[in-house]
Amino acid sequence: MTATKGLEGIVAAASSISSIVDGVLTYRGYDIDDLAVNASFEEVAYLLWFGKLPSQAELKQLHEDLSNEAKVPDQVIEQMKLYPKDTNTMAALRSAVSALALYDKEADDMSREANERKAIRLQAKLPTVIAALARIREGQEPVAPLAGLFIAENFLYMLRGEKPDEVSVKALDQALVLHADHELNASTFAARVTVATLSDIYSGVTSAIGALKGPLHGGANEAVMRMLSEIGSMENVEPYIQQKLDNRDKIMGFGHRVYKNGDPRAKHLQKMSRELGEMKGDTTLYEMSVKIDELVNTQKGLRPNVDFYSASVYTQLGINHELFTPIFAISRVSGWTAHILEQYENNRIIRPRAEYVGLTDQKYVSVEQRS
């Protein structure tokens, strides 16, 4: 047996949910460019779960179900208030999602119907949990979800305490569409490994959140915003990036293992970043990002991934950087739960082998004789 570092190039599962072929990302056969421009996030979530775009009646029912399930148990809110104020937001989210299972009577019901209901429940509650965590950190009371709003609008409402403008809602909704699924990424694989043991859907999503927390996965967008903050202005972009390149430092938000000619999602976020900057009358973050993009592409041949422009998009939406990765989770829970449902349908425990590279032919020596 020979190990492949990072399982690169290893096909570990057969899936009909999403694909990346020749740099083209599709959800259930629909090109991401088509969905990003035309579909709502709720339509995409339905597509991932049920394999087709919903009819008008099906979308209406899903909207009602998500709205009805958006409230979080009071006990979970009270637990969240006890978390240390400086707790990593993803760590807090991981704990809160795990706690949600304790208040779901169907948590251990493994029927397809119950798991579909739990997928909807998790999708509905994650935005409420994250908005509540953000407000609690600021010493404010959580804002309850408002019945009848779609996920992007409701999240911004719960975060701000007032209804958001249409441009902000459209921008966040499109960002959610773009992040919804991405084949067998690290967090999705973690979720599938967990539920392949026939553990419950909450355990699978908790595992996925733990994987997404890492800076090499979902946390990259926070690192991008920290970089933009350190640079500060357009005149500092070139010397800052040049020094990084000269030192061979990693520049977060660039390159991707499965895309050789650029991440197809990045162009939509770039456009969104420009439009939000123009709406607010300040395109500095957008212009800085474009300049960084040009420098890194010219000197390293690397193109931005989905994390790079999402940092400026979320910042221009007035969202603090510690919420960037949790917002990723709001979107990606649709994909995680779709993969979990698929894993349950044709399950086999995921148990790979390891190439042993340690010592051999060792003999036991009593403790008295060991040096």
Confidence band of 8 (pLDDT split at 50, 70, 90): confident
Active site (annotated) includes residue 339:
no
**Residues with Cβ within 8 Å of residue 246, at least 6 apart in sequence:** none
The DSSP H or E segment spanning 368 is none
Q: What is the mean pLDDT of the chain?
A: 95
Q: Is the pLDDT of residue 257 over 90?
A: no
pLDDT confidence tier of residue 219, bands split at 50, 70 and 90 = confident
Based on the residue annotation, tell me whether 256 is a catalytic residue of this protein.
yes
Asked if pLDDT for residue 262 goes beyond 90, the answer is: no
- Nearest to 32, CA basis, from 151, 183, 172, 155: 183
Tell me what pLDDT residue 209 has: 98
Among 63, 217, 307, 339, the active-site one is 307
Question: Is 90 exceeded by the pLDDT of residue 307?
Answer: no
pTM of the model: 0.93
pLDDT interval class at 239 (50, 70, 90)? very high
pLDDT attached to residue 223 = 87
Q: Where are the domains of the chain?
A: 14-215+327-345, 220-316
pLDDT of 261 over the 80 cut: no
The rounded distance, in Å, linking the Cα atoms of 111 and 77 is: 28
Could you say which of 63, 179, 182, 256 is catalytic?
256
Percent of residues, the chain, with pLDDT higher than 70? 100
CATH class belonging to 220-316:
mainly alpha
Q: How confident is the model at residue 95 (pLDDT cuts 50, 70, 90)?
A: very high
What is 14-215+327-345's CATH topology? Citrate Synthase; domain 1 (1.10.580)
Partners of 24 in beta bridges: 21
Q: Is the fold of 14-215+327-345 the same as that of 220-316?
A: no
Average pLDDT of 192-197? 98
- 258 pLDDT higher than 80: no
| DSSP output for 35-76 | HHHH--HHHHHHHHHHSSPPPHHHHHHHHHHHHHT----HHH
